[in-house]
Structure 1
Amino acid sequence: MLKWLGWVVLAGALWAAPARAEDGYDLWLRYRSLPTAQAGAVATQATAIVRDERDPTIELAAVELARGLSGLTGRAVADGTVTDGAIVIGTAKSARIAGLGLPLQSIGREGFVLRSVAIDGKRTTVVAANSPIGVLYGAFRLLRIAQTTGSLANISVTDRPKLGLRLLNHWDNLDRYVERGYAGRSLWDWQKLPGFADPRYTDYARANASIGINGTVLNNVNASADILKPEFIGKIETLAGIFRPWGIRVYVSARFSAPIEIGGLKTADPLDPQVAAWWKTKADEIYARIPDFGGFLIKANSEGQPGPGDYQRSHADGANMLAAAVRPHGGIVMWRAFVYASEKPEDRVRQAYSEFAPLDGKFADNVIVQVKNGPIDFQPREPFHPLFGAMPRTPLMMEVQITKEYMGFATHLVYLGTMWQEVLRSDTYRPRKGTTVADVLDRPVRPGALTGIAGVSNIGTDRNWSGSQFDQANWYAFGRLAWNPDGDAREIARDWAAMTWGAAAAEPVVPMMMRSHEAVVDYMMPLGLNHLFATGHHYGPGPWVDDLARADWNPVYFHKADRNGIGFDRTPTGSDAAAQYAPVLARRFSDPKAVPENLLLWFHHASWDRRMESGRTLWEELIARYDRGVAEVTAMQGQWAAIEGQVDAQRFAEVRQFLAIQRQEAQWWRDACIAYFAEVSGRPLPAGVTPPPHPASYYKAIRTPWAPGNGK
């Protein structure tokens, strides 16, 4: 322990050195030296770390505090005794903590209390919890306070997570290809496991623990049954052992047809006793090796994946059979509601609601239904999913996409905290006005019921973890909003920017982040347009695509532009998808005068001549939004250029180059979409608008077959 702390002191001295090169590996846990006055203040408030308990997770908390505080102050902070400025950490098992009378009964297993208190007449800071993982979370919070405020004086924080399951979903295949991943290969080197455990696995767990993430699904929802073979269970066991002290449980995506593919059965029918027995035996095998294994994530009867529908069974039949297999071990089943099928003529946005809402109350109590934030597929803007609030007897968890499959991959600066906040704060009006999506997620449907949220990971083997420096912010924001779905996106951005770039750079960086989501909506798909992407990889514009096998894979299906207007009619005169929302919202969304303009073309096929709030026609407004999006990226370039010298040169140069790519591609989106919609509508460009430099045929001919994210 002392040897480790000695290394921490040396590292703290190195981190205090000015202007050294950085590559982003340290994420928001950089712990670079604070300004002199603040460093001195924190040093007097953090003279030693004191603990009475010897527990692996509490040891991690102590090491993290030593590492962080030494880096921030440039002074050694190691084990010591209770003196002025000491930091005392532990659970109520410690007599010293128990004697303080802190409100531990209100914080559950994962919560914590931070207090400035006197112990034996000495001025101290206490990190207290009911469990070691609560102590670790509290230690990370204390370090965040030190990083962002430069002070540990007069602290009084009591906090606990609002959601029980706070998970990353890795869409990683066993060959290390990451579907919709833009940050290199999968972290999991299955070929070398379990014999070699990459030290990066520990760094991954540490980063997740720092933002309260407590679970990880290791493999793609388009799962291979091989993940359930004995040799892979041994590999998963090694990862579980690394993650366990950091409070992270492992889960796997299971292929519904595994009893056939690796079990030798003739069927995967969930009501067949042999199938149920196979899954029970498999669960027993896994839990014998990994007693705290979390359970299974299932994608079934969607995009060609097998499922209970293959046997004329319901989603509840399939989920409950698997739930019975893991129930004796305390495991859960997360059953995805992302379902759509080409044989059903129904509007694609209606299908999940149509299949799942009638099953409300029919799922086992260790099943939670995982619902995407919107009813299509992680588009730049969607209305919230109508299932939120529509299944009051069924636990629902929200699935968001941290990796930006539909928002420019890694090179576009798009902060998703504002997008997720927009969804979480949406009023479902179910059962009454004021019931937000966040309320649906964090209010258990019955005492002890599951609650949760999942984020599709953007993590890979790139040194900066996420493919770009700013995409780290989305990993961070996901963790913060998973802990507290009512959190504020601006506050989260401000904390991340200060910890990642330094306090001086944070002031200009935060406004860039806060405007970035609206910018990408404007230059890709304004006013409720969606799914205008080129085929397969979703890179670049393709609003003209109409030759794919399924109608709802084609952009023309979604925008329906013609000579008269543009947009998808989801009112009672069209697919009536609006009716899946609470009646007050159904009326609002169906009324062309009441629907929010940013969702107009999602719910209405509107005339090109429709008069908008700005006074412009719809055609003029559409073009103005495209131009506004490009202008915003240009402004971001200027704002970033202005802070040169305030951040390290290596990361500054990377962001500058990525912003140049984003500017170029925003222009491509703007020009291609305007050229195409002008051709379809037969309308001239408004006076003063810069025309696209090429006709629509030029943009239609562009091919990018090797863009990442679709195939190998």
Structure 2
Amino acid sequence: MKILFSFLLWIAIFFPSFSNDGYKLWLDYQPITNPTIKKDMADLMSGVFIFGEDPTYQVIRNELNLACQKMILEAPTFNTSDKTKAQFWLGTRTQMSQFLSMTEQVEIKALGEDGYWMGPVEVNGKTHYAIIGNRPVGVLYGVYNLMKSIQTETFDKSLLISDYPKVKLRMLNHWDNLDKTVERGYAGASIWDWHKLPGYVDPRYIEYARANASLGINAVSVTNVNAKAIVLTTDFMKKVKVLADLFRPYGIKVFLTARFSAPMEIGGLETADPLDPKVKDFWQKKTDEIYSYIPDFGGFLVKANSEGQPGPHEYGRNHADGANMLAAALASHQGLLIWRAFVYSHEVDEDRHKQANIEFEPLDGKFMNNVILQVKNGAIDFQPREPFHPLFGALKKTQVGMEFQITQEYLGQATQLVFLAPMWEEVLKSQTFTPKANSTVSSVIESPVSEKAITLMAGVSNIGTDRNWTGHLFGQANWYAFGRQAWNPEINSAEIANEWIKLTFGQNQVMVEKISQIMLQSHEAAVDYMTPLGLHHIMGRSHHYGPAPWVTGGRADWTSLYYHRADSLGIGFDRTSSGTDALAQYASEIENEWSDPHQIPEKYLLWFHHVPWDFKLKDGNTLWNGLANHYDRGVKSVREMQQTWKSLESVIDPERWDHVNQLLAIQETEAVWWRNACLLYFQTFSKLPFPSEIEQPSGDLEYYKSLQFPYAPGIKPNW
């Protein structure tokens, strides 16, 4: 394995690569131009001592080799015999205990398994710079933080720095299918080549592991939540074992999706009833077999009784019955069972917003300690803006984890620049008012409900085989942002943007400020030209590409009219006590304020209220004029983003500049399309003129309604 790592590192350093195409992500390690930082790094790397031998320490050696040869153009010197002569020490608290005070040891121990401590250590009159963790992986995280501080020119060798993740499990969910297609994927095919595994190991797997480890991501679910039971067969385990072995030194555990009907599909049973002894025995033996191949297997991720997927309801059982049966099989191996709370019947419910609470609130406290309910940030489905999911306040005895969507299914896919950190920050900072007055969604996620419970933040991956990994170059910023917010849900979006820009494009301050401006305005711009004032789920049917507020027919809650409910009187979904009463699922403080259309934050107005077209907004505009102004403002914001990017042509390499410039042109066209199509459609109900101050929507509504997209990702054509 050590030889394989060294070989893959050699490829990463010396194998010819396309220049400036985004493949290297935020780990490009450009040469240092700041003389002070360059000297400090050179001094450190002139004598490096690693306290021990371990596969993770080999990863650290590889990373230091790569970074040094690119940033200071020389290899580090590893001192293997005399630690006292080394400038730079790396090791665990236990390995370095003789050189640490009791206070330092207590402080480092308190940082937990993945935390790290870095700074100067005085020993016998000599100062050594040290990175210390409680496990080798903590040291690795510290090394990546050191490299980041050097790249961003913030490194100060005199400072003591300690950090630890506030969320235990920081996980990427891949919706990758076994035929290499990716559900809601916009960056090419799946990076997993199951056909060639286990015999062929793509060097890209190591690059993937490096990128995740640099962000502190420590878990990946490699198969789609809709995957068939074949992923639990012995043949498939041998393939997954290769990935698990590669990822282990980077601190990454592998999870698999478990299809609830597997006992019938691959086990030969006549039932998958979770209370049937034969079913329990099947899952126990299957789980034991997986651990025989992957001793540190993370566990199962399950989608059950949602969108037609099998689950315990078929047998008159509830979600706790199903989850606990699987959790029991995992418990002896310290494995986790992650049960998705995105549940709604394949038949139409009263209001999808209510369904998860209806099913899970009565089960609060009835799940085993190794069960985590994975809850989407909002109750509908990854919309451009959603109020936080009421389960984050309603469940007090059950561990809930966050599920964000990094891939931009409803946010322009890979043709639009939308930085998602501000949206996630908005959700994480939302007040739940339960169980205590100052509780936020982030505090719910960070707090284990018991000593044995594990906290979780998961993100649906936007990664594919495109050279730049994410389709749109700025999609990388969302992968980066997810990792940073999973590590610390309280981090500021502007700080994340600043880091990513410097790591990706360099230190030019004017450039950093301009790109940051683009990124931080991009999400609000998208909401404005897509779904302002609480509108939601008005995208094209199935593929979710582009506007289609006119979609009707078939299942009601898969249509746009079900959600916007526009008529001659007004627009919006009444979820107050006079409607579906979904607001009652929130704390009383929220329900009382949001039940009043004059008090609710206007960004959620049409999510919870059906209001007249002449309803007065807080700025004095009528709802109709306000809606039109938002749509028009979104278009103008994209044009500002375009002009700002064009002004950077001389300071960004041509390949990446042109890539983004072309996509911004598409985004501007699509923003105009959204504005025109939606306003022309809604005008058929309001019968009101467009406000004179906006750019007047043009085109023919019937033309917009006639558009077809046979090549859109997510469409399964008949040819």
Instruction: Give the TM-score of the pair, scaled to structure 2.
Output: 0.95
Residue 33 in 1 paired to residue 34 in 2? Answer: no
1-structure distance, mates of 2:367, 2:175: 25
- Describe the shift of the 1:395–1:590 C-alpha distance in structure 2 as closer, same or farther (beyond 3 A): same
Secondary structure of the residue aligned to 2:391 is: coil
8 Å contact from structure 2 (residues 624, 686) kept in 1? no
The equivalent residue for 1:646 is 651
Pick which of 538-547 and 71-80 moved more: 71-80
Which of 571, 576, 582 is the equivalent residue of 1:571?
576
Pick which of 178-187 and 153-162 moved more: 153-162
- Describe the shift of the 1:251–1:2 C-alpha distance in structure 2 as closer, same or farther (beyond 3 A): closer
1-structure distance, mates of 2:98, 2:672: 59
Q: Quick one: which amino acid aligns to residue 609 of structure 1?
A: D
**Unmatched segments (≥5 aa) in structure 2:** none
- Describe the shift of the 1:41–1:301 C-alpha distance in structure 2 as closer, same or farther (beyond 3 A): same
The equivalent residue for 1:52 is 51
- Following superposition, the deviation at residue 684 of structure 1 comes to 1.7
2-structure distance, mates of 1:178, 1:611: 44
Pick which of 63-72 and 128-137 moved more: 63-72
8 Å contact from structure 1 (residues 535, 542) kept in 2? yes
Q: How does 1:432-581 map to 2 (within 5 A)?
A: 432-504=436-508, 505-547=511-553, 549-581=554-586
The equivalent residue for 1:635 is 640
- Describe the shift of the 1:87–1:647 C-alpha distance in structure 2 as closer, same or farther (beyond 3 A): farther
- Following superposition, the deviation at residue 494 of structure 1 comes to 0.6
- Following superposition, the deviation at residue 40 of structure 1 comes to 3.4
Residue 23 in 1 paired to residue 21 in 2? Answer: yes
Secondary structure of the residue aligned to 2:663 is: helix
Residue by residue, what CA displacement relative to the aligned partner does 1:588-621 show, whole Å, maximum 9, x if unpaired? Answer: 1111111000000001001111111221111001
**Unmatched segments (≥5 aa) in structure 1:** none
8 Å contact from structure 1 (residues 9, 77) kept in 2? no
Secondary structure of the residue aligned to 1:453 is: strand
Which of 221, 246, 249 is the equivalent residue of 2:250?
246
The equivalent residue for 2:147 is 143
Q: Quick one: which amino acid aligns to residue 376 of structure 2?
A: K
Q: Quick one: which amino acid aligns to residue 496 of structure 1?
A: W
Which of 353, 363, 372 is the equivalent residue of 1:368?
372
Residue 610 in 1 paired to residue 615 in 2? Answer: yes
- Following superposition, the deviation at residue 641 of structure 1 comes to 1.0
Residue by residue, what CA displacement relative to the aligned partner does 1:89-148 show, whole Å, maximum 9, x if unpaired? Answer: 001342476435522221111111011233443333210011111111111111111111
Secondary structure of the residue aligned to 1:302 is: coil
Residue by residue, what CA displacement relative to the aligned partner does 1:422-480 show, whole Å, maximum 9, x if unpaired? Answer: 00000000012210001001111112311111100001111111112100011111111
The equivalent residue for 2:68 is 69
2-structure distance, mates of 1:499, 1:382: 31
Pick which of 398-407 and 36-45 moved more: 36-45
Residue 430 in 1 paired to residue 434 in 2? Answer: yes
Residue by residue, what CA displacement relative to the aligned partner does 1:365-398 show, whole Å, maximum 9, x if unpaired? Answer: 1111000000000000000000002111000001
Q: Quick one: which amino acid aligns to residue 19 of structure 2?
A: A
Pick which of 185-194 and 324-333 moved more: 324-333
The equivalent residue for 1:668 is 673
2-structure distance, mates of 1:111, 1:550: 49
1-structure distance, mates of 2:512, 2:39: 22
The equivalent residue for 1:165 is 169
- Following superposition, the deviation at residue 205 of structure 1 comes to 0.7
8 Å contact from structure 1 (residues 84, 124) kept in 2? no
2-structure distance, mates of 1:244, 1:202: 11
Secondary structure of the residue aligned to 2:375 is: strand
- Describe the shift of the 1:406–1:321 C-alpha distance in structure 2 as closer, same or farther (beyond 3 A): same
The equivalent residue for 1:328 is 332
- Following superposition, the deviation at residue 160 of structure 1 comes to 1.0
1-structure distance, mates of 2:296, 2:4: 31
1-structure distance, mates of 2:625, 2:118: 55
2-structure distance, mates of 1:535, 1:42: 54
Which of 564, 583, 595 is the equivalent residue of 1:590?
595
Task: Give the total of aligned pairs.
Answer: 708
The equivalent residue for 1:681 is 686
- Following superposition, the deviation at residue 324 of structure 1 comes to 1.0
The equivalent residue for 2:352 is 348
The equivalent residue for 1:117 is 121
- Following superposition, the deviation at residue 56 of structure 1 comes to 1.1
- Describe the shift of the 1:230–1:40 C-alpha distance in structure 2 as closer, same or farther (beyond 3 A): same
1-structure distance, mates of 2:204, 2:101: 38
2-structure distance, mates of 1:617, 1:292: 59
- Describe the shift of the 1:418–1:3 C-alpha distance in structure 2 as closer, same or farther (beyond 3 A): closer
The equivalent residue for 1:223 is 227
8 Å contact from structure 2 (residues 176, 222) kept in 1? yes
Pick which of 341-350 and 55-64 moved more: 341-350
Secondary structure of the residue aligned to 1:503 is: coil
The equivalent residue for 2:91 is 90
Alpha-carbon RMSD: 2.2
- Describe the shift of the 1:273–1:710 C-alpha distance in structure 2 as closer, same or farther (beyond 3 A): farther
Secondary structure of the residue aligned to 1:638 is: helix
1-structure distance, mates of 2:175, 2:22: 23
Pick which of 38-47 and 566-575 moved more: 38-47
1-structure distance, mates of 2:458, 2:382: 13
2-structure distance, mates of 1:45, 1:117: 13
8 Å contact from structure 1 (residues 12, 72) kept in 2? no
- Following superposition, the deviation at residue 82 of structure 1 comes to 5.5
